[in-house]
Amino acid sequence: MAETTSNVAGGAASFDKATVRDISVDGKRVLERVDFNVPLDKKTGEISDDTRIRASLPTITYLLDHGAAVILMSHLGRPDGKPDPKLSLRPIATRLSELLGKPVQFADDCIGQEASEKAQALQPGQVLLLENLRFHPEEEANDPGFARQLASLGEVYVNDAFGTAHRAHASTEGVAHDLPAVAGFLMEKELTYLGGALEHPKRPLVAISGGAKVSDKIKVLDRLIDLADALLIGGGMANTFFKAKGLFVGDSLVEDDKLDEARRLMEKAEQAGKPFVLPVDVAVGEKFSADAQRTLTTPDAIAQGWRILDVGPQTLIAFGETLADAGTIIWNGTLGVAEFPAFAQGTNALIGMLVERTEQGAITIVGGGDSAAAVEAAGAAEKLSHVSTGGGASLEFLEGRTLPGVAALLDKGDPRLAKEEEP
């Protein structure tokens, strides 16, 4: 996977926030927000995918190599503001230790005496991981007192958790009011790739949007119709567009309250002269199940009781024709029910197309969430330009929203950075 953070997507994005390169960390305690919200096996509780942990390594390693003592904080799951042993970060400390090749200390709480004592005793080159932030309701409430307790553990704050940058929580926004705050390499990379794709894309820019619901993507589609040269639509959300065009879709998932929005988006694309490509054939099943029989048909011939669960081969050919000369491709949302192997065929075929286009020089960006998980499962993450670690954050960024966790960081050149010359 490409590792550069400049001159991507046809032109450098305007990343004007300070990074770890812009601040001296030698001999300092660095409080770093990471995104260790990793999936856990429901039966064993073990980490089933450590992608987000591995994505944090470049920044952690840089800080350690530059003489910092690193204090890491993250959330995991939804413990509803109270301790839950099943959502402890202790197993993550073990995995991180294996990846770093050095011990990772652990504090049984993210605030309080133990956390404070362990943070104060931490030496340069050492790592401490705090317990789940969301064991405290004050985290999601962005409580100033809680934020100050977190901030007291460090001298510099680094946010490398793009996946939570759209949330104004104590650890993502509040802490930045009490410490000099800069971005980590993952945060920089995410914003540079996504920003570059929108601000200075290598054209044609083709956007692919899937997933279950139109309601999740209305604002994104509105903006992409303005910015992209063509849009390809798949997943369950395509059903709402089919019904908006007057087609009968059987028992397929449809958002009836979004039919007018669907018509508006199609009309907007038509008026702008932008191709808005819907599936021309689909795979249907008689039930929503992994063992449902896969049958191909067209969107205007869905039988009562059947439901659309994937795109068909003719759709993939049509999508491929649009992607053939694309300079930049942004994809968010699977084309079918990718957790069912029989209905993951469209998504997997699309991944293959994106790999091929990357090899031919296109910039390919996957916007997190289920589509990123599908890419990881296919073993294709390293073969694409960038796979985002942030689902909701990616969507809000594509919508054009300000991300609180980014806005709170210092701008480049801020006098508070007090960058010291390296010896």
Q: Six-digit token pair at 411? A: 């701008």
Sign of the torsion angle spanned by Cα atoms 92, 96, 98, 103: negative
Q: How far apart are CA 399 and CA 314, in angstroms?
A: 30
Using CB atoms within 10 Å of the CB of residue 6, give its burial: 0 to 12 exposed, 13 to 18 middle, 19+ buried.
exposed
Please identify which of the residues 52, 134, 189, 357 carries the catalytic annotation.
52
Q: Is 182 helix (H, G, I), strand (E, B) or coil?
A: strand
Q: Is 140 helix (H, G, I), strand (E, B) or coil?
A: helix
Torsion of CA 153, 154, 159, 160, to 10 degrees: -90
What is the residue whose two structure tokens read 């979004």?
258
**Catalytic annotation present for 52:** yes
**Catalytic annotation present for 213:** yes
**Catalytic annotation present for 367:** no
Q: Which of 282, 247, 240, 281 is nearest to 264 (CA)?
A: 240
Please give the backbone phi and psi of residue 96, each rounded to the nearest 5 degrees, phi first. -65, -40
Report the DSSP beta bridge partners of residue 419.
none
Please identify which of the residues 369, 390, 391, 405 carries the catalytic annotation.
369
What is the residue whose two structure tokens read 């704050």?
157
Q: How many CA atoms lie within 13 A of 2 on its CB side?
A: 22
What is the residue whose two structure tokens read 């789940």?
132
Order of strands, sheet of 127-130, starting from the edge strand that comes earlier in the sequence = 104-107, 127-130, 69-73, 29-33, 156-159, 181-183
Please identify which of the residues 95, 148, 213, 294 carries the catalytic annotation.
213
Please give the backbone phi and psi of residue 183, each rounded to the nearest 5 degrees, phi first. -90, 150
Active site residues: 52, 213, 369, 392
